[in-house]
Structure 1
Amino acid sequence: MSGTLTWPAVDSAARAGDLDGITALLLSATEAERLAAAKPVEAGIRAADPDLWWRSDINPTTGWALAVIGCMPTAARAAALLGRRNMQMWNRTAPDRFLAVARARELPWVGDLGVRLAERLPARDVWFEDWRFAAALLRAGAAEPPATEGFVRGWLNQLLRTQRQPPSLHQRLRDDPFLDRLLPGVFEIDGLGADAGVGHLSARTGRWDTTPRFPTVIADLVAEGRLDRKVILDATVDRLARGDRVNALRPFVLLHDALALTVDEFATHTPDYARLLPDAPPVIAGLAQRALRTVDDAGRLEMRTLLEVSAATLLRTEKTLVKAQLSWLERVVRREPDRAGEILETVAAAFGHPALDIQERALTLIGRHTSRLDPGTVARLADAATGLAGDLPARSAELLGVAAPEEEPAALAELPPLPPVTTVPPPIASAAELAEEVMLLTSEETGLRWERVLAALVSLRESSHTADLATALAPLLDRYPHHFAEQIWYQQRTAYLGDAIRVVTGVRRGGGLWNRMIRALKIVWGSGRRGGADSPFEQNPEGVLSARVAEVALEISRSPVPLLLATPTHVNGSLDAEVLLDRLARLEADGRRPWPLDLQQALLRLPRPAAPDPALAERAAGLTSPAGLQFAAWLAEGGLPDPASSRMEQWVGAKSPGSSRPDRILVDLRPARTGGLLLEEQLLTLKRPRIPHHLPADGPAESDMVTMVLPHHREAVAAWALTGLASLADRDQRGGGRLLPLLAECTGPVGPAMTLALAYVLAARHEADRVAGVDAFLTLAAGPEPFAAALGTELGRLCGPDSQIKLTRVVPALTDAHRAGATAAVWQVLANALPLLLPKSPRGLPDLLELATQAARAVQARADIPELTAVASRSGSSRLFKEARRLHSILTT
């Protein structure tokens, strides 16, 4: 390419991908010609299509960026252009060509441009190419890099991403010109340790090794003197003391071990370790415990520090740490018998530990040294022992030589009564308020928000607010095009809402999405069938909402109504029968017919009254329209009957005699009647495949968009949601547990689907989901429907040595429910689970037995459990046998 340096010439070559031609054009021009082209180049880039970089087969931004380097007079103007939205991906090529142009111009601001680009790097998700260009400009301009989070993260990641390529990581890090400037940021910036903790491909085995190389290499550089040992050690301990996420602290724990501290170095950081031991995550607390014990073994740890640290550590939930601390304190008692009293009073802090075996261990330790104690200390220890649980109060009385406390029934915490279900907020009253809700809908969909938006769209249009609606809503279509247009990878509800907005604002509709929507809607109207290969509506209950949004888009102009029947009166989706009656009467008086899905959804939301309401039935009998007659018949028949729900097993491959357990337990649904509503048949018919298919669509649902469809039939909704809820326990997914409290707040019997849902969420991998399970447990425990016995049986079936449902996750959740006041329900669960679990002896069973002891003592339970008797009668000193004997004693004494 040859010719004059102009923007049209640069732009034409850039769109053709002719980087060589642009480079030649820039290098052949004089500096005066380059500077003269700066304004046209700047104007051309500013006027360019912001989406051209991804819509074109050839990305022109690289060529434009060459012109920026070749023409701009200052780093500030160059950086401003390179950072524009329409310049994305400009640096997806090697920086050599850019640097050649910069050298030809003898630019003094190359390093300044590098600093500006480096400072603009995002703190997270730094693209390698973005960092590489900034770093190349910094090196070329001999500029000092900024120690921002984005640049430090990019520096660290580019070092670690090429660990197997020569030269070695050790050599590259040692010779890196940015090392001294940027390495402190790895220690100082929160979260950056997670990047330093990535594993590597082993050169020896060729397999992925999860052990990070970074700590070892840093320790090697310290050993050879490239890095100052004291600086690195202080930074490491300071990072641990300031805390962070556990995975972000792991490489610093490894570095701490690799540095192999001396006693003097341990002693120097004693205050830091003393802060870490009581409160830090378990791995770091263990490190601090070993460090302090090393200092103590050298005779350099003050007793006051040890006792202060121990009192807090003995209440930690990690039993390994607590047991190690008790062993350490016993060793100190033997070493310093003159101070046995104050040491053992510190040991008594473990009487407040929630685990009975820790309480027992502390009591046993004190009992071995009572001969060293004065009467005053013994009396104080006896007072502290009043907090012991299970069978330990009587043992403490014997060991401490005091009278055994009289057995008194423990005061049970009471669950508060269930509050009434909240009513929905007032309806949206203006077009501006509706626009705000629609905008919020694009970022967070909720069932309640959808209901309010649909109701307002219908009512405001009917009340002659069309002009206001057009003014308020039309800009949203341009502002959120991806939400209100068809997307093959995105659910279509908001696209249907976009069509409804276009109809309201007077824009003619048509096209593929509109036509497919109408065809699918006619199928729903005719048969109730929503799912299928070509249907845009989901088969699960959430698909009802999608179909209703489509119905609004089609009918809002073709058959307008003044209001929607199905808009709920309560936030759980329930609709008062009297309110629906008034709405039907208004439509009947206006001579309007309700929309089919709107009427069916309204009927499905009606509560099932405990007894018929004669006055309501009399008023309903006065309606004469088909919809009114259907409503009256619905009331007379008692509403929607509960479906039949039954457990079913899914197996990977055919079930065989050698199969140990099914892959997953789910629930099938079958309607209790035929000839009901079209939606009723679809919602209450569910036949699971016998071979599991773990698809992304089976992930956990979280929204009230599911529960609001059938607010008085939680068993049916739970059956549909069960694949997602099960994945929290057996596929370690996260986030879907929030659906369970919503289900618990609905009404209806608790059957196998709700029972399984609760079991799966209580056994979820992630704590936030288990907390949601506990919330649901407490709600059900405060309600009238029995559930605890069935839950215990289900947990007994699901938990086992080879099961994907882990008892070790369930026990903490049930413990939380016990502490929150649901002790009676927890005991019911355990009483029904233990006969099934004791023969299988899964991991976590001793902890479950301990919880059972606490719950049984609180409710004064008496029971004969043969399986428990069999285990309790065995000889042995394992914790399983100890806890079994303890529970057996409580239940039979």
Structure 2
Amino acid sequence: MSMPEALQKAIESGDAELTGREVMALDESGHRAAAAGLPGLLKAMRAASPHGFLDNQAVRPLLIAGAGAISGPAAAATWLCRGELRLWWWGANDSELRLLREVTSGRSPEWRAEVAHRVADRVRATDIDWTRWHFAAELAKSAGAAPPVSDGFVVGWASGPEGADELSEDPFLDTLLPKLFEVDGVGAALADDATRTQWGRTRKSTWAGSLSDLARAGRIERATLLDGCVSRFLRGGTTHNLRWFIQLHDALEPTDDEVAARVRDYVRLLPTAPPTVADLALRQVRRTDDLERLDADLFAEAADALLFRPEKKLVRAALTWLDRTARKRDRAGATVRALTAVFTSDAVDLRDRAVKIAVKHAAHASESVREEVRDAAGGLPADLREAIAAGFGEVAAVPGPEPLPGPPPFVPREPPAPIGSLAELADDFAVRLRSDEEWPATERFLAALVEFAHRDPDGTREALRKHAEHLAPWITEPGGRPYMRSHVRESWIQFPVQHLLLPGRPHNLTEVFAALAMRRSHSAGTLNDPQLKRFLKWRLHEIASAVGTVPLLLATPTEVSGHIDPGVLVGRLERLEAAGCAPGPADLLQAMLRVPREIDPAAVVRAKGLASVAGRRVASWLAAGGLADPAVTCTVLDTPLATVGERTFRPPSQVLSIVDMPGDSEIDRLCTHPDPDRRVFGTGRLDPHTGHWAAVLPSHRDIVAAHLVPYLAGWEQYGWNQGAIMLGLAEADGPAGAATGTLLAHALANEDQDERARAVEALLVLAARGALPAAETGTALGRLAALGRIPLPRTLKALTAAADAGAHAGVWTILATALPHALPAPGQRARAGLPAMITLATRLAEMTGARGAIPEVADVAARGGTSRLVAESARLHRTLTAT
């Protein structure tokens, strides 16, 4: 039985109207023939399409033909839901829905209702297919049947493009309205309802507005909507998913009786609901209280729930409510008892206010309540205990808390095990091609590549070639496209492998990069690259040239930080001497820079037996103890320009770092910063290998930090691995001074939450190792905050997390050092977040027992007035000067 010819031509022409007429002209046998031929026709049309899929013009007649020809409800629904027949954009339009009605008009209402429900069941709430939704809705309407109630269909009804303008006439309203409060996904679908209505060209009404209007008109029950909102709040959810239900609740403007009837549910929301829902619930509870319809048990439950909330805004509102109603409602005792929950709060401003309110109502509290207050006040600071004692009687101070635990101990990461076979080398090569280049793993791969290529060049070449040809064929192209050649030359994995796979490829850039790295030549045209980047380029080209010619790399680290065990270093030099080979100059220089600060005396003695030029140089280096610590400075500037001696600089982000190396050796020239030829710095564009710099000088983190400052500080809004790079510095060794502290201050303000978390981890590592430059970090933080270059609220989140994780002493020092720089002069406005910064400082001063006035804080406290800045400064000053 073949497809009716006239119908096939109509479908192939893309004419949905003609297709509809042809389908309706068929008899039962014609319908069967058409239904049998549609799958084959669809396959042929897809095969003939130049894109491999069908556009809307081709899909429409296929959908109409299937709806009219397929007799089984299940088969018809399956056809309408085929993925190849999905219409783009908003799915079916009015003409397609009219055709659907027409071609199915001969079917029974039961058939249309069943197809509607089957199609609706395939509409997903998280990804609405509007073709399916519209077809299901149209079939249900034409059948006069109840609408489907599947989750996807309900969410589609709530989020459709027509919105709520004709809701009063919607035949689905009565059935689907209760489902709005039961189906997950409705809240997310309607979260932006008000915004879409505001900016939409055709929509005039919001769902919340239309439903509340219908409730006022008596079309729907107000109780259905109010109970639905409250039940949805009680089910829980995110602020985003509950936003629309809050809008609907407010649009209904509940009456006093409606609120009082539901007050028990509002109280149940207070402990754990999202802040916006808890705020709504608190308003209703207070309203009920104003009506004198809140019983004592519900008051106590509400007060306890609110005062344990983490949101200061809600606790502050609760304190205001409790204070204003304590005597008016004759519940001073219950109020004072509830306030004791705030005595242990970390928010010192709220704690102080709770004490003040308790004292205010002390005279109206019973003796049993007064005893509870005295017991709860034992852990308060001395000045607050005295205030409680004045109102409630003598307070016995409880023993001080156990010493606070410090940050978690630092445990160095284990280095990756050496690669032991060609098969493992090939597998690692494939992994490195697919993933970002992690520096310890990259060093491991390069060490194995050099060793295997020297030991078995043909076998190594064969093992790597298949992966290269499959995953990175440009590596094996002798000519290659220019942009790909540049890409390969920048890759620490691909470039050395290319030199192994294409051994005859000319390469003469190693000496150029060597000269450039050591500032002996400007011919390569990249002098504006940072020194450490130039050095890494030199080392990369040298390694690529060395593949197959030397038995090993000298500078491969033995620790994740980048350090080399001195005994291993001497052993490698002995192997090179036995093989009659010398290390490359960049390899030798890197190996010397990776010597740890503490050198095993046995390695020094053993090194004296080395005979080669490189061996004697390393022996002298080890005997001298490695690189001495140079002078490193870092300053946050007020102006774009800075003059040092006869040189004027324009550093990015107005932070100038200097490394003063008095000599002219290769190492001196590499470490000096800024180099003598530089007046301006490169752009802030992040180099993907900047995170590797700490491993170049793992025993001198402040030198690396100084080199990083021009390229990392001031770019907090871009993420740019600030936190990850800071963590690498924390795992390195050597002095941590102003440069490290300045970078840490910037990283703690990073916009990216993950980068801030890594910066916090870096702070904890530095604190655990006794290397946190707290005063230097505080100086930079205070200067940057005063100049408006970092957002304090983000920084305070990070510092709070670090303090809570054990670095309370270090964070206190950071804040105590920062405040003199950050506090405004008389008449100036405080930076956003500064009062909260002082609050955190007060909390940490109490935790650490810090004493000793900070003159700048005392000056602000003495200004008087009611500003929060003055109040918080006065509180901190009292804490620091308490006896």
Match of 1:243 among 226, 233, 236: 236
Q: Give the share of equivalent positions with the same residue, in percent.
A: 32
TM-score calculated relative to the size of structure 1: 0.74
Corresponding residue for residue 836 of structure 1 = 821
- Which of 534, 553, 558 aligns to 1:569? It is 558
The alignment partner of 1:278 has SS state of: coil
Tell me: CA distance 1:438–1:392, structure 2 relative to 1, closer, same or farther (3 Å).
farther
Query: For structure 1, which runs of at least 5 residues remain unmatched after alignment?
Result: 160-166, 656-661
TM-aligned CA deviation for residue 550 of structure 1: 7.7
Aligned match for 1:382, one of 374, 377, 382: 374
Residue deviations 1:247-300 (CA, integer Å, cap 9, x gap): 343333222211212334334543442233223333222111111222333344
Distance of 2:559 and 2:339 partners within structure 1: 54
CA contact (8 A) 1:79 1:116 kept: no
What amino acid sits opposite 1:569 in the alignment?
A: T
- Mapped to 2, the partners of 1:572 and 1:425 lie a distance apart of 12
Q: Which residue of 2 aligns with 1:559?
A: 548
* Counterparts of 2:173 and 2:677, CA distance in 1: 61
Moved more, 678-687 or 788-797: 678-687
Kindly state the Cα deviation for residue 385 of structure 1 after the two structures are TM-superposed: 0.5
Structure 2 CA distance for aligned equivalents of residues 774 and 212 of structure 1: 47
- Number of the residue aligned with 1:134: 132
For 1:198, give the aligned amino acid. Answer: D
**CA separation of 1:267 and 1:201: change in aligned 2, threshold 3 A:** closer
Q: 1:609 is matched with which residue: 586, 593, 597?
A: 597
When residues 297 and 35 of structure 1 are mapped into structure 2, their CA distance, relative to the original with a 3 A threshold, is closer
Q: Secondary structure at the match of 1:171?
A: coil
Amino acid paired to 2:702: E
The aligned length equals: 837
Task: Give SS of 2:635's match.
Answer: strand
Question: TM-score, length-normalised on structure 2?
Answer: 0.75
In structure 1, what residue type is equivalent to 2:813? Answer: Q
Describe the SS at the equivalent of 2:417. Answer: coil
Residues 338-737 of structure 1 correspond to what in structure 2 (within 5 A)? 340-389=332-381, 391-402=383-394, 405=397, 412-415=403-406, 418-429=409-420, 431=423, 435=427, 438-439=430-431, 442=434, 446-456=438-448, 474=466, 478=470, 492=487, 499=494, 523-524=512-513, 527-528=516-517, 554=544, 559=548, 563-591=552-580, 601-604=590-593, 606-610=594-598, 613-624=600-611, 628=615, 631-632=618-619, 634-635=621-622, 638-639=626-627, 644=632, 646-647=634-635, 649=637, 664-668=653-657, 672=661, 674-676=664-666, 680=670, 697-698=685-686, 705=692, 707-718=694-705, 731=717, 736-737=722-723
Does the C-alpha gap of structure 1 residues 179 and 373 become closer, same or farther in structure 2, counting only changes over 3 Å? Answer: closer
Preserved contact between residue 458 and residue 562 of structure 1 (Cα < 8 Å) = yes
Q: Which residue of 1 aligns with 2:860?
A: 871
1: distance between equivalents of 2:817 and 2:496? Answer: 55
Q: Secondary structure at the residue paired with 1:647?
A: strand
Gap change, CA 1:538 and 1:653, over 3 Å in 2: closer
1:29-108 to 2 correspondence within 5 Å?
Answer: 53=51, 82-83=83-84
> How has the CA–CA distance of structure 1 residues 797 and 502 changed in structure 2, closer, same or farther, with 3 Å as cutoff?
closer
Cα distance in 1 for partners of 2:226, 2:474 equals 51
Residue matched to 1:305: 298
Q: Deviation digits for residues 414-450 of structure 1, max 9, x if unmatched?
A: 4257434232132344536963784487356533444
Map 1:150-169 to 2 at 5 A. 159=161, 169=163
**Structure 2 residue matching 1:748: 3-state secondary structure:** coil
Contact 1:459–1:562 (CA under 8 A) maintained in structure 2 = yes
**In the TM superposition, what are the counterparts of 1:848-887 in structure 2 within 5 Å?**
848-887=837-876
One-letter code aligned to 1:394: E
Q: Does 1:289 align with 2:282?
A: yes
- 2:655 match: secondary structure: strand
1:793 to 1:190, Cα distance in 2 relative to 1, 3 A: farther
Question: Which residue among 769, 774, 778 is the counterpart of 2:764?
Answer: 778
- CA distances 1:672-723 after superposition (whole Å, capped 9, x unpaired): 35442699469975999979977xx459x89965644543343355456657
Separation in structure 2 between the aligned mates of residue 595 and residue 147 of structure 1, nearest angstrom: 74
Q: Does 1:323 align with 2:316?
A: yes
What is aligned with 2:646? none
Deviates more, 1:867-876 or 1:453-462: 453-462
Aligned equivalents of 2:4, 2:276: Cα separation in 1: 67
> Counterpart amino acid of 1:806?
P
Q: 1:837 to 1:39 in 2, by over 3 A?
A: closer
The residue number in structure 1 matching 2:267 is 274
The amino acid of 2:243's aligned partner reads R
Displacement after TM superposition at 1:382 (Å): 0.6
With 223-232 and 143-152 compared, the bigger mean Cα shift is at 143-152
Change (3 A) 1:751 1:121: farther
Question: What amino acid maps onto 2:747 in structure 1?
Answer: V
After TM superposition, give the deviation of residue 762 of structure 1 in Å.
3.2
Distance in 2 (CA, whole Å) between partners of 1:45 and 1:544 is 60
Counterpart contact for 1:278–1:313, Cα < 8 Å: yes
Shift of 1:464: 5.9
Q: Which moved more, 1:138-147 or 1:834-843?
A: 138-147
Pair 346,721 (structure 1): closer, same or farther in 2 beyond 3 Å: same
Residues 754 and 874 of structure 1: CA distance in aligned 2, closer, same or farther (over 3 Å) = same
Letter in 1 for 2:809: A
Show the 5 A alignment for 1:162-241.
Answer: 169-171=163-165, 193-198=187-192, 213-224=206-217, 228-241=221-234
Distance verdict in 2 for CA 1:137–1:404, change over 3 Å: closer
Contact 1:27 1:101 in 2 (8 A): no
Contact 1:713 1:747 survives alignment (8 Å):
yes
For the aligned residue pairs, the C-alpha RMSD in angstroms reads 5.8
2:379 & 2:174 partners in 1: Cα distance? Answer: 55
2:404 alignment partner AA: A
Per-residue deviation, residues 396-416 of structure 1 (Å, max 9, x unmatched): 22221216649x877542425
Check conservation: 1:668, 1:687, Cα contact below 8 A.
no
For the residues of structure 2 that align with 1:653 and 1:183, how far apart are their CA atoms?
A: 66
Greater C-alpha Rg: 2
> Would you say the 8 A contact 1:702–1:738 is kept in 2?
no
Contact (CA 8 Å) 2:659, 2:674: kept in 1 or not?
Answer: yes
SS in 2 for 1:170: coil
Counterpart AA for 2:307: L
CA contact (8 A) 1:452 1:567 kept: yes
Q: 1:756 aligns with which of 734, 742, 753?
A: 742
Q: Give the stretch that moved more between structures: 807-816 or 482-491.
A: 482-491
CA distance change for structure 1 residues 333 and 529 in 2, over 3 Å: closer, same or farther?
same
User: How far apart, CA to CA, are the structure 2 residues paired with 1:683 and 1:48?
Assistant: 65
Q: Secondary structure at the match of 1:422?
A: coil
- Give distance in 2, aligned partners of 1:532 and 1:23: 74
Tell me, what secondary structure is at the counterpart of 2:406?
Answer: coil
Contact 1:118-1:145 at 8 Å conserved across structures: no
Q: Deviations over 1:827-860 (max 9, x none)?
A: 3323322323333443444444444444445555
Give the aligned residue type for 2:778.
Answer: G
Give yes or no for contact 1:193–1:247 (8 Å, CA) kept in 2.
yes
1:191 is displaced (CA, Å) by 6.7
